[in-house]
Structure 1
Amino acid sequence: MTEKYVLDVAWNTIMLTMKVAAPALLATLVVGLLVSVFQAATQINEQNMVFIPKILAMTATIVVCGPWILRMLITFTIDIFKQIPQVTH
């Protein structure tokens, strides 16, 4: 097992983590921005008004993107398991 191999696995893990987290984070960011603009326009400062739409947006995004996320995680895990014999030599 070389230093380059360890760095490649670490880099691929970080990139996969960002790809998996991005849809939910972006949806939450957009909803938070829209709710903040609405609150600024109406001068309503209710905390539940921010929290509930963000949770709903994140849940909807995970439901919609769930199969894609699961497919990416399974593919990555299988690739890592396939590389185990190469690492032990």
Structure 2
Amino acid sequence: MLTPEVATDLISETLHVVMLLVTLLVVPGLVVGLLVSLFQAATQINEQTLSFLPKLLVTLLVVGLAGRWMVGYLMDFCVSIFQRASTLIG
């Protein structure tokens, strides 16, 4: 039976998975954006594409390198949710 405690645990675990996957994608882009901003401030170059393109490339690189792990992690989480759902319903 779905009690408030079980629902809270499911929501907590779901938020943990979402935060982990989003953090893995966003943090490298933030670091590269900071480095590019420091470079732009030091050289006084104000070019929009100079800040956008490196962040895009780093994000694509992270997806390419960690994408398989991320999909596997998400699939394992979905399987565990469906297994719990079958025990909660029956």
**The TM-score by the shorter chain falls in which range?**
over 0.9
Following superposition, the deviation at residue 68 of structure 1 comes to: 1.1
**Residue 37 in 1 paired to residue 33 in 2?**
no
Return 5+ residue gaps in structure 1 as ranges.
Answer: none
Identical-pair percentage: 36
Q: Which structure has more RCO (C-alpha within 8 Å, separation ≥ 6)?
A: 1
Superposed CA offset, 1:42-78 (max 9, x none)? 0001111101111101000011011110111010000
1:25-46 deviation digits (Å, cap 9, x = unpaired): 1110110001000000000011
Q: How much has 1:21 moved relative to structure 2?
A: 1.1
Instruction: Determine the structure 2 residue equivalent to 1:57.
Output: 58
- Report the RMSD for the aligned CA atoms in angstroms: 0.8
Calculate the TM-score normalised by the size of structure 1.
Answer: 0.95
What TM-score does the superposition give when structure 2 sets the normalisation length? 0.94
What residue is the counterpart of 1:24 in the other structure?
A: 25
Moved over 6 A (4+): none
- Paired residue total: 89
Q: For residue 43 of structure 1, what is the amino acid of its counterpart?
A: Q
CA separation in 1, counterparts of 2:24 and 2:72? 15
Equivalent position of 2:67 in the other structure? 66
